[in-house]
Structure 1
Amino acid sequence: MEFRQINYFIALIEEGTVTRAAHRMNIVQPALSMQIARLEEQVGQRLFERTKQGMVPTAAGRQMYKLFLPIMRDFSSAYAQMQSSDGIHGHISIGLVASVTEGVLVDTLSEFSSRYPEVSVSVADGYTGALIDRVTAGRLDAAIINKPRRPLALDVEYIVDEEMILITGAALGTGANAGVPDSLSLRELIALDLPLVLPTRGHGLRATIDSFAESEGIELQPRFELDLLVATIMLVERSRVATIVPRVAVHRELDEGTLRAHTITSPRLVRRMVGVSHPRRPLSPAAQLFMAMLAANLKLRSPGGGDAPAPEPEPAT
């Protein structure tokens, strides 16, 4: 088994066709196919099913990808760190929950790419649980997530406590939204009978919101459940509904005046953001810099972000 064969194998898994994989690896298609065939012979198992739609990994292929991807990432990281010290090089792969993606990613990427043009960056968004799994498996170098209640077998670094606010459409000055005060308690929100749109119960943000409601003996009953943040914001802008989101996720819309913010005062709704990475796979200098820049931008967008962590509500019994 050769190092280049593993590189070809990973490229074929990720690209799905010999044509795209060969282009990515800058070799001709027959050469890549021959190396994959040799690799299958060496491991004694078929790694791909050849279909009209492309190369589909078998169970053995998926297992091999899972085992070798972290090793190849470690090699790439080590190689980048051993390059000349006059610059930052290499590739990094970062995961973010959706509200961070919407709130600060573009600014961070723009600033980072101008400072470190020789670093390529891959960013994936998703649920907290899925991002934890991908960091654990080595498919991501690090991720910024909602802090889960359960202990993690990962390195965890506190970033910021983000305020969550009620938002309504600023253009809707009459009807249901006209009677929503600038600040209110969670119980007062329920009493307004304002239609809510919230994420589904499998979403980390919904779990945080529900935990605060349960601590007050309140059950939230949203009219709509959407996990798509962009669609949720558009629905609030255009309809007489409201939602609860971290301020960072809608700071641009608030600045532009298309949304109106309402502070929830009792209880104060916050979600704790943390960065996670694998304890046995130290972050490369490039990944450390990118995560630090993301964290700094999150703190800038979060009023009071430098304050001491606020207490989290105890789960209802």
Structure 2
Amino acid sequence: MELRQLEYFVAVVEEANFTRAAARVHVAQPGVSAQIRRLERELGHELLDRSGRGVRPTEVGAAVLPYARAALAAVESARLAADEMGGLVRGHLAVGMITSHTVDLPSLLADFHERYPAVEITLTEGESAHLLDDIRTGALDAAIVAVGAQDPDGVALRTITDEAIDAAVALDHPLAGAKSIPLLDLRDHPLITMRPGTGIRSHLESACAATGFTPHVAFEAGTPQLLAQLAVRGLGVAVLPTSIAHNHPGLHPLVITDPSLRGRVALAWRSPGPLNPAARAFLPLFDRN
């Protein structure tokens, strides 16, 4: 059994087509077919069902597939470990980020690329809940996410910012004369807040549920800056990080009380579990910025 046979087998299964698999591994199609036939003879079973329009793994092929993938991953990990010990980091770094945060991630990734040009970098933007799921499944190596008071399961965190979540209204809003507002009083106002799955929205909904009501969300947006603009126009009460609520010239801030709300932005990565060499090189670099 040869590694290239396992590689060709995995490629055919994932592409569901011999021609596409051959192009993927840069080998002529007859060569791919011949190597898989040799693998089947060695194992004594057909691994692929070639009878339909597409190629599918047989029952035996489906059972062999995870072992083939594991063998290929082990070889790649050995190669990366050897490169790392020799001072050469290569491979792939998959990073995620929420829309709004205080980290200059493009500059950080450019710095990382300059230090480790052999590493392929991909960047995904999304909501915290989805990014955390991708970290747990291994689709992402690390991500900048918004989290609450309780650390999410399955990840390690390094806090970037930790600040209160407040309300803010237009300067001519009826609430503009107050300095604070109990959370329960927000029940009577249309709210302007982040989309579901984001940190601020999760904190708000959890606190409202504990207080005994469902918030009336009139407007949703992807960034706190857009929430602020909607509130300036008098469209409702915005729920914002305190740094924006208290520093926007067109808004009057209100401290939310009973209970107060607080949110964190953090760098997250999978834990427990091994990090690939590129991710291990990325985390310390993040600390220095």
* TM > 0.5: yes
Match of 1:288 in 2: 280
Retained in 2: the 8 A contact 1:135–1:278?
no
Does residue 193 of structure 1 match 2:186? no
Give, in whole Å, the separation in 2 of the partners of 1:165 and 1:235: 13
Q: Is the 1:40–1:47 contact (alpha carbons within 8 Å) kept by the matching residues of 2?
A: no
Q: Distance in 2 between matches of 1:143 and 1:291?
A: 11
Residue in structure 2 matched with residue 311 of structure 1 by the alignment: none
Determine which structure has greater relative contact order: mean sequence separation of CA pairs < 8 Å that are 6+ residues apart, divided by chain length.
Answer: 1
* Mapped contact 1:165–1:269 kept (Cα < 8 A): yes
CA 1:274–1:98: 2 relative to 1, 3 Å? closer
Per-residue CA deviation, residues 80-138 of structure 1 (Å, 9 max, x unaligned), is 22127564422234353534789643232222112221111234455556555554554
User: 8 Å contact 2:166–2:256 — kept in the other structure?
Assistant: no
Shift of 1:79: 1.4
TM-score between the two structures when normalised by the length of structure 2: 0.63
- Contact persistence 1:235–1:241 (CA under 8 A): no
Q: Which residue of 1 aligns with 2:98?
A: 98
Q: Which amino acid in structure 1 is aligned with residue 218 of structure 2?
A: R
Gap change, CA 1:80 and 1:263, over 3 Å in 2:
farther
Aligned partner of 2:263 among 250, 264, 270: 270
Q: Do the aligned residues in 1 keep the contact of 2:13 with 2:57 (CA within 8 Å)?
A: yes
CA contact (8 A) 2:165 2:256 kept: no
Write out aligned runs for 1:134-213 (5 A). Answer: 134-143=134-143, 145=145, 152=153, 154=154, 156-163=156-163, 165=165, 184-185=180-181, 187=183, 190=186, 193-200=189-196, 206-213=201-208
Q: Following superposition of structure 1 onto structure 2, how do residues 1-317 of structure 1 map, counting pairs within 5 Å?
A: 1-11=1-11, 21-35=21-35, 42=43, 44-46=46-48, 51=53, 69=69, 72-83=72-83, 85=85, 87-99=87-99, 104-126=104-126, 131=131, 134-143=134-143, 145=145, 152=153, 154=154, 156-163=156-163, 165=165, 184-185=180-181, 187=183, 190=186, 193-200=189-196, 206-214=201-209, 219-224=214-219, 229=222, 237=229, 240=235, 244=239, 262=253, 264=255, 266=257, 267-271=260-264, 273=266, 275-281=268-274, 283-294=275-286
Instruction: Give unmatched runs, 5+ long, in structure 1.
Output: 298-317
The 1:85/1:163 distance shift into structure 2, 3 A limit, reads same
1:157 is displaced (CA, Å) by 3.9
Question: Percent sequence identity over matched residues?
Answer: 23
Q: Is the 8 A contact 1:48 1:58 kept in 2?
A: no
Instruction: Sort the Cα spacing of 1:44 and 1:55 in 2 relative to 1 into closer, same or farther, 3 A.
Output: closer
2-side partners of 1:67 and 1:280: how far apart? 19
- Structure 2: give runs of 5+ residues left out of the alignment: none
* Structure-2 separation of matches of 1:134 and 1:49: 36
- Local SS of the residue matching 1:220: coil
How far 1:70 sits from its partner (Å)? 5.8
Q: How many residues align?
A: 280
